[in-house]
Structure 1
Amino acid sequence: MRFFGFWCGLLCAVLLTTTLSAQTPQSYSDGKRGEVVLPQGDLSFADTVLAFEIGDAVPTASARNPDAALGPPTYVGNNNDGSFTTLGCNGMLDVQFTDNALIDLEGPDLYVFEVGPDVEGTQLAISQDGITWIDVGGIAGGRSEVDIAGVATPGASYRFVRLIDDGEDCRGRFPGADIDAIAAIGSATRFVLDGSVLFSVDSAVLKPDAQAALNDLANEIAQAGISAFEITGHTDSDGSAEYNLELSNARATAVREYLLSLPALADATATARGAGESEPVSDNTTEAGKAANRRVEIIATSGQ
C-alpha cells in the first residue's frame, strides 16, 4: 500500500499557515506518561504524508491511516482509536513539513512519538527534496529525541523525514513501530511566496504588486523578533538547469535587497541563494505543479 501527498496546491501571495508572532512553547504528552515541550507549539509537527508503505504482517485496520502520524500527538492509551499509524514489519512512512523546516540547532532537533502496546525502533532519514535521503541512523522506541548534527549540512533546512520499521517485534495486531507524531524541535518557520505574484516570466524584476506582499512579510518577520533569515529562489523544470539556477538566484537576490531596504528590517541580515529546479515541491509534469514549484522561500527562526 502506497500513498503520495505532494503539497501542490496553488500558493497565494504569501502562504502563512500560522502567524509567527503567535507561536508560544507548548507541552505535549509523549504517550508514556512523559511530557515534551516544543518552542513553536503546533507549528512543529509534520503536515503531509509523502509516501506510506505498509510492511509485512499488516496491522489492524484502525492503525493503517498514515495521516494519524501528522499534527500534534493524540494517543491517550486507547490502542483502537486510530490515533497512531502502525508501519508493519519493515514498513516505511515519509512525511513533509510545509509551514516549517527541520534544522540543526544545539541539542535535539527532532522528536518521534512512538506509542501503542509495544515499543519498537525505526531507522530514520531526512531529506531536503524528498528524493535524496540522508541516513540518520536507528532510533529507539517511545519518545525518541534525535540530534541531526553530524549528518546535516550546516545552515541547511530539511522538509522531509522518513521512518522505516527496524523489522523486530513484528507480532500481534500492531506489528512494527506505532507512530503518533513527528515534530521538528529544531524548527524554522517557512514562508512561501508565489513566484507569479513576485515576477513576470523569465524576469527577476519585482512586480509592483509584489511590494505589498513583501511589506506585509517584513512586518511579520520583524514582529517575531527575527534578525536573520535565508531566502531561496526556486523554478520549475522548463529550460536548462543552468538557466534556472541563474534565474532563481537573481530572484532570491531581488527579494533580499527589497526586504532589507524596508525600515522594519533595517537591522536584519539575510542571505540569498538559488536552487533552480533542484528542490521541487510538486510534479513538474502538470501546470499546477509547475506553478507550485515557481516560488521563493524564506526560512527564519524566531530569536535568531
Structure 2
Amino acid sequence: MRRSSIIMLIAAVALGLIAVLFARTFLSSGDDAGSQTAAVRTVPTVVAAADIKFGEKIKPEMVKVVDWPANTLPQGSFQRLDELTMGAGRTAMRPIVANEILTENSLATGANRLSTAQLLGPQMRAVSVPVNEVSGVGGLVFPGDRVDVFMTRQPEEAMPYSELLAQGARVLAVGSDMNVGKEKPELVKTATLEVTPLQAQKIALAVTVGSLNLALRHFSDESRMRLQTAQVMDLNDGTITRLVRKPNSGGAAPSGPPAPSAGNSGQAPVGPGVVVMRGTSNGTTSSFESVIGK
C-alpha cells in the first residue's frame, strides 16, 4: 500500500511539471506573436474595389480603403478616398485590377480628357513618326513598348545609307490609342515616342530627308550600342562577293582586255583584285568599287 502511494505521488509530480512546461511554451509563443504583430505597422491605403478600365473616371464605388503594411507601401499611394474623387477627380491611365494599390503614376489628374503630356518623364518630349505595316513592325508595336528608331536615306550624290537615331524610346501611343493594356495589333499611320530634346530634333529632320523604321526591343533591354553608318556595300554577312559590271550603253560588251596602266608591266592582274571606277556626270563625282576574281 505504501509503495503504490509513492508511485502515485511521483506520477502526480511528473504530470505537474509537464503541465508547467506546456503553459510556459504557450505563453511564450503568444508573446512572440504579439510582439511580431505590434512590430508590423499598417496604414490606411486606397485600393481598387473592382477592375478599372483604361480611361475610366475614378468613382467612390470603384475604390476602398484597407490596412496595408507601411513598409511595403509603394510611393505615391493614397490614404483617403476624397483624394481621388473630390475636385477635378482622377482618371485611370492604364487597366487596374481589383485590390491593386492606386498610385499617382497610374492615374491622371482631371477627368475631362487624357493627355500624352501626363505620361512624359521630366525633361522628355513626345514626337510622332509616320509608320506603316513594315516600318511599324507589322502593327505589333503597343503603347508601353520600347523601340529603336532608324533613318534610311538615298541621296543623289552617294549610295543609300542607314543611321540609328534613338535607342530604347518608349512608345506613348499608337495612332490615338494610349492604352498600355492594348492586346490586339492594329495597323496605324503614326506612333508617338518619348525621346530627349536632341533626339526629337534629329527625328524632325530625318522625317523630311529620309524614311524611318522602328525596331522593337525587349522590355528589360537597357543596353546602348554605337552603330556605324550602314551602306549598300555593307549588306553581306562578311564574305567577299563578286559584282558583275553592266555592259556599256551601246549594249556591246567591251572587246579585249582593258589597257594596262602606266604603273604596271603590261600584264593583267591574276587572281582576286580590287577594281575602282571613278567618273563624273554633270559635275557630280561618283564612285564604284568591286572585288573581282579570275
**TM-score of the superposition, structure 1-length normalised?**
0.22
The structure number with the bigger radius of gyration is 2
**TM-score of the superposition, structure 2-length normalised?**
0.23
Higher relative contact order (CA 8 A, sep 6+): 1
